[in-house]
């Protein structure tokens, strides 16, 4: 067995929001483990540029917040190309601001992008997985699934919801052979975090607050994703795997 437990050869993975950042890193990592990867986003040009960097990658542009568009895209892909064996729900956004002044429209965008998309894409893909009695769903949560910090209360609410939706997916779908889990990244160097990465005061705080003493690099999330996508995680369900340098373990 050994390394074969983590071999994804012959499996196909759809990763939402995968033209850059964490999604792109996970797609590249899954491909290196043998999977055929399907990149998703709304910008076809950025997707094509990302796919050109991953051998064998294909693209499936759709808006993950649009229920009908998701259904059409997923059903069409399954009919034309075959099974999606692994789904990584990574699409997400951030909006920072004091809660008392937080714009209602920004709150709604966060709800749609960070949590409704997990429902829409998860349901569309799971309907096919259930018929095959197998599948892996990996949702991207956050340290904010468990913790809060000033200025991002609505984001924290959405990531808490991702954690509990993951548990709900496992509770409903494990009996159908699906493994539904989440990865909760700590603070990683990504385009979403540019404002924080470029803030010396925040970086100093983070280095002191995190037992590992540094920012995470996106490639450090790949192993967790391969594990949850592979046979090595055959009896792991409804789990939230924190990859955060120890930040949720310490005061």
The pLDDT of 5-17, averaged and rounded, is: 97
The pLDDT of 39-51, averaged and rounded, is: 96
94-118, pLDDT tens digit by residue? Answer: 999 999 999 999 999 999 999 999 9
Q: How far apart are CA 43 and CA 80, in angstroms?
A: 22
56-97, pLDDT tens digit by residue? Answer: 999 999 999 999 999 999 999 999 999 999 999 999 999 999
Helix-strand-coil percent breakdown of the chain, rounded to 5? 55, 15, 35
Domain for residue 251, yes or no? no
With tokens 């540029």, the residue in question is 49
Query: Catalytic one among 24, 107, 155, 173?
Result: 155
Domain with 169, as residue range(s), is: 2-242
pLDDT at 251 > cutoff 80? yes
pLDDT at 13 > cutoff 60? yes
Three-state SS at 63: coil
155 tagged catalytic? yes
pLDDT band at 2 (very low <50, low <70, confident <90, very high): low
Q: How far apart are CA 118 and CA 110, in angstroms?
A: 12
The total number of structural domains that make up the chain:
1
CA dihedral 202, 205, 209, 214 (to 10 degrees): 70
pLDDT at 207 > cutoff 80? yes
pLDDT value of position 79: 98
φ/ψ of 239, rounded to 5, equals: -95, 145
Domain for residue 115, yes or no? yes
Domain for residue 132, yes or no? yes
Domain for residue 158, yes or no? yes
Domain for residue 67, yes or no? yes
pLDDT band at 26 (very low <50, low <70, confident <90, very high): very high
Domain for residue 80, yes or no? yes
157-171, pLDDT tens digit by residue? Answer: 999 999 999 999 999
**CA 219 distance to own-chain centroid:** 14
Angle at 186 between CA 180 and CA 189, to 5 degrees: 115
Q: What is the DSSP letter of 206?
A: H
Q: Output the pTM of the full model.
A: 0.97
Domain for residue 139, yes or no? yes
With tokens 């051998």, the residue in question is 55
Domain for residue 93, yes or no? yes
Check which CATH number belongs to the domain holding 119 and give it: 3.40.50.720
pLDDT value of position 3: 67
pLDDT band at 191 (very low <50, low <70, confident <90, very high): confident
């Amino acid at each position: 067995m050994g390394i074969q437990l983590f071999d994804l050869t012959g499996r196909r993975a759809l990763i939402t929001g995968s033209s850059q950042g964490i999604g792109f890193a996970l797609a590249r990592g899954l491909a290196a483990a043998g999977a055929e990867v399907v990149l998703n986003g709304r910008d076809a040009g950025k997707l094509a540029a990302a796919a050109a960097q991953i051998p064998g990658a294909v693209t499936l542009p759709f808006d993950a917040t649009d229920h009908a568009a998701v259904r059409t895209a997923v059903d069409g892909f399954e009919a034309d190309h075959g099974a999606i064996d692994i789904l990584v729900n990574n699409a997400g956004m951030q909006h920072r601001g004091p809660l008392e002044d937080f714009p209602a429209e920004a709150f709604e965008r966060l709800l749609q992008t960070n949590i409704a998309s997990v429902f829409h894409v998860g349901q569309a893909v799971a309907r096919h997985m259930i018929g095959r009695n197998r599948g892996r769903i990996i949702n991207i949560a956050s340290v904010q699934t468990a913790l809060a910090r000033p200025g991002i209360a609505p984001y924290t609410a959405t990531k808490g919801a991702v954690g509990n939706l993951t548990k709900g997916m496992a509770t409903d779908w494990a009996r159908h052979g699906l493994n539904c889990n989440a990865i909760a990244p700590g603070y990683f160097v990504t385009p979403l975090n540019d404002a924080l990465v470029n803030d010396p005061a925040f970086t100093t705080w983070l280095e002191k607050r995190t037992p590992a003493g540094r920012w995470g690099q996106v490639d450090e999330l790949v192993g967790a994703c391969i594990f949850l996508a592979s046979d090595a995680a055959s009896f792991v369900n409804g789990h939230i795997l924190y990859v955060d340098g120890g930040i949720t373990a310490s005061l």
